[in-house]
Amino acid sequence: MIEKLHSIGISNAMITSTVITLILCAVAVIGGRRIESVPSSKLQNALEAGIEKLYRFFEDIMGEYACRRYFPVVATLFIYILVCNYSGLLPMAGHFPGLAAPTSSINFPMGLAVVVFFATQIVGIRESHGPRFFKHLFQPFAFLFPIMLVEQFVRPLSLTLRLYGNVFGEEAVVSSFFDMVPLGLPLPMQALSILMGFVQALVFSLLAAIYIGEAAHTAEHL
């Protein structure tokens, strides 16, 4: 069946990312099905604690207003990237058919970075009620416009390369260690990649939060 999917151009990363999406959706539906004001289920407790921590974290970065409106985008970025990174830690990830960390393929981070790029522009336009938002490219001085423009396009590129480079590099190192000494040697690297997976998810969503928050606030000051 996997071969069939491969034959129609569905890659392992696409399969894994779809499975992850389905699992996360299932967790959300099960967890959000019955919410009690005095929680008795461990799942609700865990989800509440996680969501509140994330909300407070992004609230500090984006400000209260922007966080209230755009929290779903940045929070989902963090959760999705985190789970995708950790999917690379599963046994035989990258070798087993249909299982590969989506973030180790350049297309996945690039897709997310493009979403962040468009989200930033849309938020800016929405908050300033029109294309007035692009005036910020000419501030503080009009002659800085080319640099400001380049900055806007460098952002998704840097997001893409940072995430892809880290995950791909880590996987490459683990795999070459595995080739040298299969037992034991890849372990320290795998332990490090637990940390790395978290940090990369955090950095990606943090930068996205900064860009979106900035767009929301820039609109205020135009």
Partner 1 sequence: MVEALGIDIKEMLFAVANFLILIAVLTKFLYKPFLANLENRKQSIQDAFDNAEAVNKRADEKMSAYNKRIANVEQEAREILKDAKMKADRQASQIVDEANEKASLMLQKAEAEIERQKILAVEEAKEQIAMLAVMAAEKIIEKELDASGQTQLIDNILKEAGASGWQN
- The site for partner 1 (CB under 8 A) is made up of 9, 11, 13-14, 17-18, 20-21, 24-25, 28-29, 31-33, 35, 37, 47-48, 51-52, 55, 71-73, 75-77, 79-80, 102, 105-108, 110-112, 114-115
Cβ at position 200, least distance to partner 1 in Å: 16
Cβ at position 207, least distance to partner 1 in Å: 16
Which residue, 38 or 181, has its beta carbon nearer to partner 1?
38
Which residue, 133 or 164, has its beta carbon nearer to partner 1?
164
Cβ at position 52, least distance to partner 1 in Å: 6
Contact call for residues 199 and 49 (beta carbons, < 8 A): no
Cβ at position 37, least distance to partner 1 in Å: 6
Which residue, 4 or 221, has its beta carbon nearer to partner 1?
4
Which residue, 80 or 133, has its beta carbon nearer to partner 1?
80
Which residue, 47 or 186, has its beta carbon nearer to partner 1?
47
- For the CA atoms of 129, 134, 140, 144, the dihedral, rounded to the nearest 10 degrees, stands at 180
Task: Classify residue 24 by burial, with Cβ atoms within 10 Å: 0-12, 13-18, 19+.
Answer: middle
The angle subtended at Cα 36 by Cα 30 and Cα 40, nearest 5°, is: 85
Q: What is the DSSP letter of 184?
A: S
Residue with token string 């009009």? 142
Distance of CA 217 to the CA centre of its chain: 22
Contact call for residues 78 and 201 (beta carbons, < 8 A): yes
Distance between CA 62 and CA 160 in Å, rounded?
Answer: 21
Task: Pick the closest to residue 64 from 219, 221, 184, 217 (CA basis).
Answer: 217
Which residue, 107 or 175, has its beta carbon nearer to partner 1?
107
Which residue, 73 or 137, has its beta carbon nearer to partner 1?
73
- Residue type (1 letter), 195: L
Cβ at position 105, least distance to partner 1 in Å: 6
Neighbours of 6 (CB within 10 A): 15
Cβ at position 128, least distance to partner 1 in Å: 23
Cβ at position 123, least distance to partner 1 in Å: 14
